[in-house]
Structure 1
Amino acid sequence: MSPSVGVVIPTRGDRPALLRQAVDAVLRQDYPGELHVVVVADGRSPHDVTGVPVRVLPNTLTPGLPGARNTGIAACDTDLIAFCDDDDLWLPGKLATQVRALTEAGGEFASCAIEVEHGRRRVTRLAGTTSVTAADLVRSRMMMVHSSTFLFSRGLLWPDESAPGGQNEDWDLALRAAKRRPLVHVDQPLVLVRWAGSHYAVRWTDRIAGLEWMLARHPELAADPRGAARIRGQLAFCHAALGERRAALRWALRALGARVLEPRVPIALAVAAGVVTAPTVVAALQQRGHGI
């Protein structure tokens, strides 16, 4: 007998067409077990979220993405929980493939590879592995371990609502899960992640706070040279994007201290010097299916 699955889709209600597509893609999954879909309206009345044939609830916890997800989890009485962002699409076979892999491995938490869509371009992001460890997530954020790919045992873990601006709560959740047991990863693209119109792309202050929050919660991030250099390079870039040149230089030097060849350092310094703008860099990277 297939385990029941509760799918939590948080939304601000400001992109109804994408939300309907996300819900439809979930409902079209060819999955033999019970499937319950909950849309959580964050920051507005559920009555404003129309056109979706599923249960719509208000976020009754901390405003923001983690609180909305936790509201949805609390509303589900299922064996497993899955997430899907309101601008992403589950591809055919996503749920059945992941549940089968999770069951066969005796795992607790699963992810899968993704396709990243930016404009008219799609890029496949694979992990090159079927098992993701905590050490993997320390060395690299592994963007294919994306929240819209998450499938895990209900009651296992909850998103942390203290995440600043909801930043990195998904990375934190995956890392905490991987510290318990390696994630079961299906390395085929089963989710389409749409980057155009993301709520988080250029919120530099929130991104800085989110990275510092992760460093405080997971000290091992600063201990791994590659992971430390990556985060410090990101901090340098975010400060540069805000025009805070001194802070950008400070973090750039710290990144180089961890790893001399950290690629984010010259990019951050170019932004700080005004050679290129941060949005231009982000757009160019996203066209290639990458983030800063």
Structure 2
Amino acid sequence: MQAPKVSVVMATRDRPQLLRRAVSSVLAQDYDGPIEIVLVYDGTAIDALSDLELPTGCTLRAVGNDRTPGLAGARNTGILTATGSLIALCDDDDEWKPSKLSRQVPLFEDPEVVLAATGIEIMSSGGSHVRVPPTRVYLANLLRSRITELHPSSFVLRAKALLGDLGLVDEELPASYGEDYDMLLRAVQVGRIASIPDPLTVIHWDRTSYFTEKWQGIVDGLGYILDKHPQFASSRVGRSRIEGQIAFAHGALGDRPRARNWAYRAIRNDPRQPRAYLAMMVGMGVVSGEKVVATLNHRGRGL
């Protein structure tokens, strides 16, 4: 039986060289089945990369984002354009190791699996950092922790689920911030999330992220996620984590009163929440939010 067709959706904006690196890593897959690459240009001119040599079984399409501007709309444009039974996501500045799909796709032989991920290797200014996710994830795990080892550049999803019970990427999410977390929270409630516990996806933090300085988007996006998922009421630790992140973003914006208020909320739910205390330090100007994030990224960690 032929291996299922995988459609790889890459949303891109103003990163032509990094995009070529990402696409080349997909073309280098040792997967036996057909691969369709769908590039979605978000507000920039379309480059079909027609100079690239495509191996047998691989096709490439380039389209413009015809939905909501931003990452969520671009990904949905790609998902709706794709023709594969499996949809893979990859950021335009990340890479896959050659065996990623051949190792990951067999997880879908379990009909309950709706989303599969892999471990990641983070390349930061501090070197290489390997992060391995659990092989099975439950809702309680995701409420307590974002489980950053589950990175969207490693995601493969069933197209049928995306067009059905799971649904598309939420385009109402402010600044598309946390759209991957929202997807995980929804996926685990309609099926199973499985992972390959090996670092088959390379995540590059040795460059500027579009989200690093978008503090208001973080405030709005995480607030939206808290409101959308009432299950956080059952996880004080998880709610505190997000409240601490919102507090930190307010502090980075220089809004000391809101940073303090959100930090107090976080501490009430979990007195050990470090982001709350960092938020107050940032709000008081002791250290900048950018400096804290840069230090964490250097160590292969996020906020």
Both structures adopt the same fold (TM-score exceeding 0.5): yes
The verdict on how the C-alpha distance between 1:264 and 1:120 changes in structure 2, with shifts beyond 3 A counting, is closer
Partner of 2:57: none
- Please tell me whether residue 77 in structure 1 is matched to residue 83 in structure 2: yes
Partner of 1:131: 136
- Please tell me whether residue 193 in structure 1 is matched to residue 203 in structure 2: yes
Partner of 2:128: 122
Structure 2 Cα separation of the partners of residues 120 and 29 of structure 1: 28
Residue correspondence of structure 1 range 1-292 to structure 2 within 5 A = 1-12=2-13, 14-47=14-47, 54-104=60-110, 106-119=112-125, 121-127=127-133, 129-157=134-162, 158-195=168-205, 196-292=207-303
RMSD of aligned residue pairs (Cα, Å): 1.6
Partner of 2:56: none
Structure 1 Cα separation of the partners of residues 126 and 236 of structure 2: 36
Structure 2 Cα separation of the partners of residues 56 and 269 of structure 1: 45
* Stretch deviating more after TM superposition (231-240 or 260-269): 260-269
Deviation string for 1:54-102 (max 9, x for gaps)? 3110111111111111111111111100000000001121111110223
Deviation string for 1:194-216 (max 9, x for gaps)? 12211111200001000011011
Letter in 2 for 1:75: T
Q: Is the 8 A contact 1:133 1:181 kept in 2?
A: no
Q: Is the 8 A contact 2:174 2:224 kept in 1?
A: yes
The verdict on how the C-alpha distance between 1:65 and 1:50 changes in structure 2, with shifts beyond 3 A counting, is farther
Structure 2 Cα separation of the partners of residues 52 and 40 of structure 1: 17
TM-score normalised by the chain length of structure 2? 0.92
Letter in 2 for 1:223: S
Q: Is the 8 A contact 2:244 2:262 kept in 1?
A: yes
The verdict on how the C-alpha distance between 1:208 and 1:50 changes in structure 2, with shifts beyond 3 A counting, is farther
Query: Deviation of residue 132 (structure 1)?
Result: 1.1
Structure 1 Cα separation of the partners of residues 126 and 235 of structure 2: 37
Query: Deviation of residue 119 (structure 1)?
Result: 2.2
Q: Is the 8 A contact 1:215 1:222 kept in 2?
A: no
The verdict on how the C-alpha distance between 1:58 and 1:258 changes in structure 2, with shifts beyond 3 A counting, is same
Unaligned ranges ≥5, structure 1: none
Deviation string for 1:222-278 (max 9, x for gaps)? 431110110011011000000100001101110010011111122111111211111
Q: Secondary structure at the match of 2:79?
A: helix
Q: Secondary structure at the match of 1:29?
A: coil
Letter in 1 for 2:28: R
Letter in 1 for 2:238: G
Query: Deviation of residue 104 (structure 1)?
Result: 4.8
Structure 1 Cα separation of the partners of residues 51 and 248 of structure 2: 40
* Stretch deviating more after TM superposition (190-199 or 203-212): 190-199
Structure 2 Cα separation of the partners of residues 89 and 247 of structure 1: 38
Q: Is the 8 A contact 2:126 2:300 kept in 1?
A: no
Deviation string for 1:165-195 (max 9, x for gaps)? 1111111111101111230111111111112
Structure 2 Cα separation of the partners of residues 155 and 46 of structure 1: 28
Letter in 1 for 2:170: D
Unaligned ranges ≥5, structure 2: 54-59, 163-167
TM-score normalised by the chain length of structure 1? 0.95
